[in-house]
Structure 1
Amino acid sequence: CRITTVLFDNNYELLHDRIDIKGISPITSNEYYVGGSTALLDAIGATISKISNVQDNTSKDYKAENVMFVIITDGEENSSKEYSLDKIKNLIESKKSKDDWEFIFMGANIDAISTAESFGIGANRATNFVSDSDGLSVSYETMSNVVTRYRKLEEIPEDWDKKVREDYLKRKK
């Protein structure tokens, strides 16, 4: 399993570029911190394009058999310049239908369900979370479980986000 991690605000930072999961250290506040505005569409579009290019230009024996694309944001789109909502929706729908990519969307301080749907990600693959240490902890634990299941080629259960949803409903402000 290889991980690509992109951090974004009004800038795009490639933190991990297809690194073996065993070699990934936990992200700390030195790497991840709250920045300025949120160029969410640009981050999604640039990353889909990057991973697509890698997949398209890698021999069959070495390309990823499965791609899971997880989007985690603590704010709504407000500063993208390169990618429009329509372009993102078309990219995501194409990757889902033609290449069988899996997309998960987790959002705080926004309506994650309607945002995900506007991107072409189904409501069953989107969830809201509380943007604090407890909310992030349950979110990352949940994503770890989902990724583990995906890597084992198991179905992602319909209630994959149950703990995150329960935490959000109990503590949302």
Structure 2
Amino acid sequence: MTIQEVIAVIDRSGSMKGKEKDTVGGINTVISELKNSKSQEDTINFSIKLFNNEQIMKLRSLEISEVGDFSVSDFIPSGSTALLDAIGDTLTFFIQKKVMNPQAYDSCVIYIASDGLENSSIKYNRKYIKEIISNAENIYNIKVFYLGANQDAILEAENLGIPMEQAINYLENELSTQAVYTSVARVVSESRNSFNSVSFTPAERQASIQPPLLTRSQPVQQTEYSTLY
């Protein structure tokens, strides 16, 4: 029997406007995949934290079988991006939980999704975040994954102290967002019984940056100078 904590730390700053449906769909993809991958002997406690310049806990350590679908009405973008504060507070809470009760969990996965860069944290700096992420993984078996859009997610993860293998870029469209969250569910499941590093695969990285499909309502524009075959 294993106990796993899974925490979704999701950017809801103003730049996420217009992306509510895809983001919520991605969160629900992870919930569904974790329910399907869970064995009867395992316990998966799921948390959802939304952040901008403030933090809101929508779920805290609720057993995955009891988690319902997340709603678009619960995801209202506004404000700025206090990324470091969201990471620091989340890590501090789950490190303290393990210190107070060594049997609280066997593994913990925190995945962060953001479409912008840090711009408003007041409690933590990058040096401290790098240190706490390193200690969290090496001492407490807490793995941190980073999902980044509109940025170089690998570089940003490196600046935060997150291993590049645990970072992934994605495009903000329905197909790519669903693909990246499906990948998250896989690495979460793989981390459940492993103290080794877990990485996104090349195929997952490719799927997460696929452009949106053209539909009949999105015709390819032509000019008198173009010839399409």
> TM range, normalised to the smaller chain?
0.7 to 0.9
> 2:51 touches 2:82 (CA, 8 Å); kept in 1?
yes
Q: Distance in 2 between matches of 1:13 and 1:137?
A: 23
Q: Distance in 1 between matches of 2:205 and 2:66?
A: 27
Aligned letter for 1:117? E
Match of 1:28 in 2: 71
Matches within 5 A, 1:91-170: 91-153=132-194, 158-160=199-201, 162-168=203-209, 170=210
Aligned letter for 1:119? L
TM-score by length of 1: 0.87
Q: Distance in 1 between matches of 2:202 and 2:77?
A: 24
Q: Distance in 1 between matches of 2:132 and 2:196?
A: 23
**Identity across the alignment (%):** 25
> 1:67 touches 1:102 (CA, 8 Å); kept in 2?
yes
Match of 1:46 in 2: 89
Q: Does 1:79 align with 2:120?
A: yes
Structure scoring higher RCO (CA < 8 A, sep ≥ 6) equals 2
Aligned length: 169
> Which of residues 45, 54, 79 in structure 2 aligns to 1:11?
54
The structure number with the bigger radius of gyration is: 2
Q: Deviations over 1:65-101 (max 9, x none)?
A: 1111211112111111111111111110111222232
Q: Deviations over 1:133-168 (max 9, x none)?
A: 222211111111222222254966644363343341
> 1:135 touches 1:164 (CA, 8 Å); kept in 2?
no
Aligned letter for 2:54? N
Q: Distance in 1 between matches of 2:198 and 2:98?
A: 27
Q: Distance in 2 between matches of 1:114 and 1:28?
A: 31
TM-score by length of 2: 0.67
Q: Deviations over 1:109-147 (max 9, x none)?
A: 111101101111111111101123222211111111222
> 2:180 touches 2:208 (CA, 8 Å); kept in 1?
no
Q: Distance in 2 between matches of 1:36 and 1:164?
A: 29
Aligned letter for 1:27? F
**Structure 1 segments of 4 or more deviating over 4 A?**
154-159
Q: 5+ unaligned residues in a row in structure 1: which ranges?
A: none
Tell me: CA distance 1:133–1:28, structure 2 relative to 1, closer, same or farther (3 Å).
farther
> 1:149 touches 1:155 (CA, 8 Å); kept in 2?
no
